[in-house]
A and B are shown apart, each in its own frame.
Chain A
Amino acid sequence: QKEVEQNSGPLSVPEGAIASLNCTYSDRVSQSFFWYRQYSGKSPELIMSIYSNGDKEDGRFTAQLNKASQYVSLLIRDSQPSDSATYLCAVRLNTGNQFYFGTGTSLTVIP
């Protein structure tokens, strides 16, 4: 079983809508959770990190973590065409351990 699972998509949303990206992880001792954005042909860039249950907001982005359900999500409000990219979920068991990445969800925002 993969440590981190994401729907590969593609996910298409109209401009201005909310895009919802989901990720589940298998290891209950996971402590740190991250969302990366990767534009086609580019390298991943970190957009959000979350460590505690609940919501964390940063501009149009909200990360949600539910450790009991082993679930982390990313909401993108007021989606823009420039948000079209692949979003990678990453999990870290604890400090000093490696990152485990999902295979990514491709998001297309339609103007």
Chain B
Amino acid sequence: KAGVTQTPRYLIKTRGQQVTLSCSPISGHRSVSWYQQTPGQGLQFLFEYFSETQRNKGNFPGRFSGRQFSNSRSEMNVSTLELGDSALYLCASSLEFSMDTQYFGPGTRLTVL
């Protein structure tokens, strides 16, 4: 069974631009969570989607948003990029909502110049 896939793997943007990242969960998994990983803050939870609805949200500004499609694929969007948004964005999928076992994708490395 294929794992979690994320596209693109690398992205370079400039301040003020917006970006959309994509995540395809493991086949059959219905929950997708997004995390931001930086050296200083570590892994921080952004949001979790299940059945096309945002079920949990972390402490990030409204510039960070996401959505989930009927096939469980998810996208996250960051608008008005700031230098501090440079990070590894990880997507994790789990079978159902709020399950303890989650499988991480390879991540998208975003660099904001």
Interface of B with A (CB < 8 Å)?
Answer: 33, 35, 40-45, 48, 55-56, 58, 90, 97-98, 100-107
Contact = CB atoms under 8 A, between A and B. Distances in A.
A42 B101 CA distance: 18
A34 B41 contact: no
Contact of A45 (B45, B48, B97, B104): B104
Interface stretch (A64-72, A75-83, A98-106): A98-106
Given A42-B106, A96-B56, A97-B56, A49 B100 contact: yes
A42 B37 CA distance: 12
Given A34-B100, A45-B104, A46-B102, A98 B42 contact: no
A1 interface: no
Interface residues on A, range: 20 to 34
A38 to B, nearest CB: 9
Contacts of B106: 42-43
A101 B56 contact: no
B98 A96 contact: yes
A72 to B, nearest CB: 14
Contacts of B107: 43
A111 to B, nearest CB: 27
